[in-house]
Structures are given as structure tokens and as C-alpha cells.
Amino acid sequence: MDPVTLDARNLLCPMPVIRMQDTVRKLQPGDVIKVVCTDPGVLHDIPAWCRVHGHEVCDIDEQEYEITITVRVGPGSQTGA
């Protein structure tokens, strides 16, 4: 399955994490989501959220003003995490 891409550009904290959480709830464990952001706060917020909810940050790519964080969905996705 191709990664799901979530466009969270031009959203400020906490909206990228909230949008990611809403999307992850619809995915299955093992699925991959790429979150494209412009708020540098996501460099801390998304990895912290993933640690709490059991998801794996696979990659963080920073290109000028854009940050793409790739996450593998963990087993807690169907329990609202």
C-alpha cells in the first residue's frame, strides 16, 4: 500500500498533530502516513505523540520551509490513538 499523504502545511500547533491523529484513526497497523508541514514545532510534537501512542517515526525530511515526517502506524491506531 502506498503511503497516505496528509497536507498540514500552513497549520500551526496543535493542528498538524490533531489532523494526523484523525487520519491515523482511519488507518490499519503497519500503514504509513507522510505528514507534510511548515510549522517547525512538528519536529518535536509529532515524534512525542508517536512515542505516547506507539507509532514509529520512520523518517524526517526537512527541505527549506517544508518538513515531511513519515510514520508507520502502530497497533494502537484502532483504539483511538
Active site residue 13: yes
Rounded CA gap, 74 and 40, in Å?
A: 24
66 exposed, middle or buried (CB, 10 Å; 0-12, 13-18, 19+)?
A: exposed
Catalytic pick from 13, 37, 50, 58?
Answer: 13
Give the Cα separation of 44 and 61 in Å (integer).
Answer: 13
**Catalytically annotated residues:** 13
